[in-house]
């Protein structure tokens, strides 16, 4: 299973939001601009994340988005499941009926892939990613070239 561009962009935008999470809503246009994401596309993604209870939206002059859940409580798996649905490398691991289930030699492989993908995506949270990115940015600023 490929993680969609929707999920990849949304995670990048949520990392940006977490880095500017000072209690005030962040304008979505600022997030889109800083991350190079088309504004209308990001609006659609954030609308889905708001409906899922991950984000709050705020109207008005000082409007924008903020986290409804703490960034450390939002995993990459949460985002992927909201935007892409169930993480499943095959129909049988997605819960679809299969008439070959008793004779399928690769079902265990697909099940292991699903379990491992969910484990990795579930262990990565937005707060940790934002922190790691800020460390990377600091390290890049410390480097200089002659």
pLDDT tops 80 at residue 2: no
Q: Where in the sequence is the domain holding 61, given as residue range(s)?
A: 5-142
Mean pLDDT of 84-90: 89
Which residues face 26 on adjacent strands? 65
Average pLDDT over residues 49-55: 98
Q: What is the DSSP string of 50-71?
A: HHTTSEEEE-STT-EEEESS-G
Q: How far is CA 92 from CA 46, 83, 84, 117, in A?
A: 30, 21, 17, 16
| CB neighbours of residue 99 within 10 Å | 7
98 vs 84: CA distance, rounded Å:
22
What average pLDDT does the segment 44-55 reach? 98
What pLDDT band is residue 18 in, cutting at 50, 70 and 90?
very high
Position 22 scores a pLDDT of 83
**In this structure, what CATH number is given to the domain that contains residue 14?**
1.10.10.10
d(CA 111, CA 67): 33
Give the residue with greater pLDDT, 140 vs 55.
Answer: 55
Q: What is the mean pLDDT of the chain?
A: 91
Mean pLDDT of all residues in 38-60: 97
Which residue is it, tokens 């379990």?
115
pLDDT of 142 over the 70 cut: no
On the question of pLDDT at 146 being above 70, the answer is no
Give the total number of structural domains in the chain.
1
What is the Cα–Cα distance from 74 to 53, expressed in whole angstroms? Answer: 10
- pLDDT of the residue at 140: 73
Q: What is the pLDDT of residues 98-127, one digit of tens each?
A: 888 778 888 889 899 999 999 999 999 999
Give me the residues paired with residue 125 across strands: 75
Query: What's the pTM value of the predicted model, to 2 decimals?
Result: 0.89
């Amino acid at each position: 299973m490929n993680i969609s561009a929707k999920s990849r962009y949304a995670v990048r935008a949520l990392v940006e939001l977490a880095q500017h999470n000072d209690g005030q809503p962040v304008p979505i246009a600022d997030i889109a601009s800083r991350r190079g994401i088309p504004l209308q596309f990001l609006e659609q993604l954030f609308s889905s994340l708001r409906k899922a209870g991950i984000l709050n939206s705020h109207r008005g002059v000082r409007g924008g988005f903020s986290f409804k859940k703490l960034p450390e409580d939002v995993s990459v798996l949460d985002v992927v499941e909201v935007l892409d649905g169930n993480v499943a490398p095959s129909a049988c691991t997605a819960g679809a009926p299969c008439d070959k289930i008793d004779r399928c030699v690769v079902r265990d492989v697909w099940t292991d892939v699903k379990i491992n993908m969910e484990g990795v995506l579930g262990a990565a949270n937005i707060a940790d990613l934002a922190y790691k990115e800020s460390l990377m940015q600091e390290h890049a600023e410390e480097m200089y070239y002659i």
